[in-house]
Structure 1
Amino acid sequence: MALLYKSDPARGAEWARILAEKAPELSFRIWPEIGDPSEIRYFFAWMPPDDLATRFPNLELMMSAGAGVDHLDLSKLPPDLPVVRMVEPGIVDSMVEFVSMSVLALHRDLIDYVAQQREEVWKQIRVRPAATRRVGVLGLGMLGEACCRKLTGFGFQVAGWSRSGREIEGVASYAGADELPEFLARTDILVCLLPLTDETRGMLDAELFAQLPKGAKLVNTGRGAHLDQDALLAALDSGQISAAVLDVVTPEPLTPGHPLWSHARVLMTPHIASMTQPETAVEVVLENLRRHQTGEPLIGLIDRKRGY
């Protein structure tokens, strides 16, 4: 019985070291050294091969290396194969750090000050109290809820939107398509933490931007495909959106010369908002293997019909 790993090779080496200590009985293999494919029962991966079902005929559990599963083509997986997303403290903590950093940077006009430094301009911008700034979080799953809780601690007026609604202490909750316009109208800084589905693909578009207050700001740490990049550029040029922090884009990396590379109102990072940490991720994986073997509910099991 073997666990196959297909993700960052450097972290894979850490996985091997940790698993040798915690589960020496488990055969751990790192892609592409898969050994006998028939021995693979568990697969932990980012971007698995398309022939997954035929290559590994005895696969019992598919585990995503990230908090989302949009990188998996669920239609090519056996319908009865359980799929779990990664639910571990390292992903949550790093995302909360990144979103907090981004919201605070936009709140405190960091993009303006970076531009001023380049121009050798010394000019103060009046500080606006956090209590007067309205932050809206799209997506209230594990990551969205954690970010909302942290942002309320800074004193922001925080609201969250999701498809079905979530109650979070100190956070105004909006749900469904009917309440989305009201949510957007009260949002000065919009944070996208949605799962990528057919319904959310391209959701950050010109129509959505037009419903935000003039000069609103954007943080996208969901997926690049959530964002209509041309619509964002147009909104930035018109002033409807005054600044953006993008951790995800399409494609990754952007093509050379793409306007977002050099746009003065955009801060961009290379999809690093959150990362799976081997020390804690291994514990979650081992717990899920134990649960799978004993028939207990799995941590992070997705709804195949919803796609998350």
Structure 2
Amino acid sequence: MSVLLAISGMPLEVWQERLSALLPGMSVFVPGEPFDRRAIHYVVAWQHPPRSLNGLPNLAAIFSTGAGVDHLLRDPDLPPVPVYRIIDADLTGRMSEYVVLHCLLHQRGLLRDLQNQRQRRWAPDLLQPAAQSVRVGIMGLGVLGRDAAQKLVNIGFEVAGWSRTPKDIPGIEIFAGDGQLPAFLARTDILVSLLPLTDGTRGLLDKSIFAGLARNGRLGRPVLINAGRGGLQNEADILEALGDGTLGAASLDVFQTEPLPADSPLWNHPAVVVTPHSAAISDLDAITRRIASQINAVQAGETPEGLVNTEEGY
């Protein structure tokens, strides 16, 4: 049995070395080197090259190297085999770190302080709001959203969550479904998006969502943090909302086109923090160990954690 690394934008030699050590008895191949396509039983994928998953007659499962699987599900020729995503404590912790960092950044007014620093202006904010007076709303209450919500509560933020279906998270006010979305938005000062990208969520973060956010918050104007998927956001609407005051600021880790084009006005916008899809870049050792354990579980006839419902998209 063999593994194929259908990965773009990552050091394939390192992946090959790590997985070979973790999966003794299996061959691990990368595109471009000779291998018997009939021997491939497992694919490890991220932004896989076009048609790289075709012609694998004995393929048994596909493993995403991250929590997202939209890069796989948008392939019209995706083989009809089980797809697994990463659920890993290291990845989850890093995403929560990002969410907490950016909620604090906006709550503490760091963008303003950095602008003042560049202008050599000493201007302390004597009316800075406390975390307890800032309402965070998290869209997407899977493993990542639940962990981020609980850590924000520990700091003192007033946290609520929204998802397509009802959830039960101690200490978190829950809203669910389209019917409760307006109420969720109306109580939210900082909107955090950790939703998966599906047909139902594509383009969801648009001017209508921004217009529904709280107007009476301690931050003055609401803030958007998107560390989910780039396809969730309408970037023209984000810029328009920042320009007309519907949004006060945004932290964006993901984009409709990646890398973010050099001519995008988001790069230089004074109210925008741009990060290069790095919110939850996990330790390579942790990810390869997790994938190896998933492969070993499938080999043993078990169903490992992370099985994706390809109809739902997550």
TM-score, length-scaled by structure 2: 0.92
Structure 1 vs Structure 2: percent identity of aligned residues? 39
Structure-2 residue corresponding to 1:227: 233
Alignment gaps of 5+ in structure 2: 216-220
Structure 1 distance, partners of 2:34, 2:295, is: 19
Q: Offset of 1:279 from its aligned partner?
A: 1.8
Structure 2 distance, partners of 1:52, 1:16, is: 17
Identify which of 279, 287, 294 aligns with 1:288. 294
Q: Offset of 1:121 from its aligned partner?
A: 1.5
Structure 2 distance, partners of 1:249, 1:19, is: 30
Q: Deviations over 1:162-189 (max 9, x none)?
A: 0002111111111000001000000000
Equivalent residue letter for 2:64: S
1:203-214 superposed matches below 5 A: 203-214=204-215
Q: RMSD between aligned alpha carbons?
A: 1.7
Q: Secondary structure, in 3 states, of the residue corresponding to 1:54?
A: coil
- Whether the 8 Å contact between 1:11 and 1:278 is mirrored in structure 2 is no
Q: Secondary structure, in 3 states, of the residue corresponding to 2:145?
A: helix
Q: Offset of 1:43 from its aligned partner?
A: 0.5
In structure 2, the CA distance between the partners of 1:57 and 1:276, relative to structure 1 (3 Å rule), is: farther
Q: Secondary structure, in 3 states, of the residue corresponding to 2:101?
A: helix
Structure 2 distance, partners of 1:96, 1:32, is: 37
1:87-106 superposed matches below 5 A: 87-106=87-106
TM-score, length-scaled by structure 1: 0.94
Structure-2 residue corresponding to 1:255: 261
Structure-2 residue corresponding to 1:195: 196
Structure-1 residue corresponding to 2:276: 270
Structure 2 distance, partners of 1:286, 1:255, is: 35
Equivalent residue letter for 2:233: L
Structure 1 distance, partners of 2:264, 2:23, is: 47
In structure 2, the CA distance between the partners of 1:86 and 1:242, relative to structure 1 (3 Å rule), is: same
- Whether the 8 Å contact between 1:4 and 1:34 is mirrored in structure 2 is no
Structure-1 residue corresponding to 2:109: 109
Q: Secondary structure, in 3 states, of the residue corresponding to 1:262?
A: coil
Equivalent residue letter for 1:90: D
Q: Offset of 1:20 from its aligned partner?
A: 4.2
Correspondence 1:279 to 2:281: no
Q: Offset of 1:11 from its aligned partner?
A: 4.7
In structure 2, the CA distance between the partners of 1:51 and 1:8, relative to structure 1 (3 Å rule), is: closer
Q: Offset of 1:291 from its aligned partner?
A: 2.1
Structure-1 residue corresponding to 2:245: 239
- Whether the 8 Å contact between 2:8 and 2:48 is mirrored in structure 1 is no
Equivalent residue letter for 1:115: Q
Q: Offset of 1:23 from its aligned partner?
A: 2.7
Structure-2 residue corresponding to 1:22: 22
- Whether the 8 Å contact between 1:74 and 1:304 is mirrored in structure 2 is no
- Whether the 8 Å contact between 2:19 and 2:292 is mirrored in structure 1 is no
Aligned residues: 307
Q: Offset of 1:53 from its aligned partner?
A: 4.8
Q: Offset of 1:9 from its aligned partner?
A: 6.8
Equivalent residue letter for 1:151: L
Q: Secondary structure, in 3 states, of the residue corresponding to 1:219?
A: strand
In structure 2, the CA distance between the partners of 1:34 and 1:193, relative to structure 1 (3 Å rule), is: farther
Equivalent residue letter for 1:179: Q
Identify which of 303, 307, 313 aligns with 1:297. 303
- Whether the 8 Å contact between 1:191 and 1:218 is mirrored in structure 2 is yes
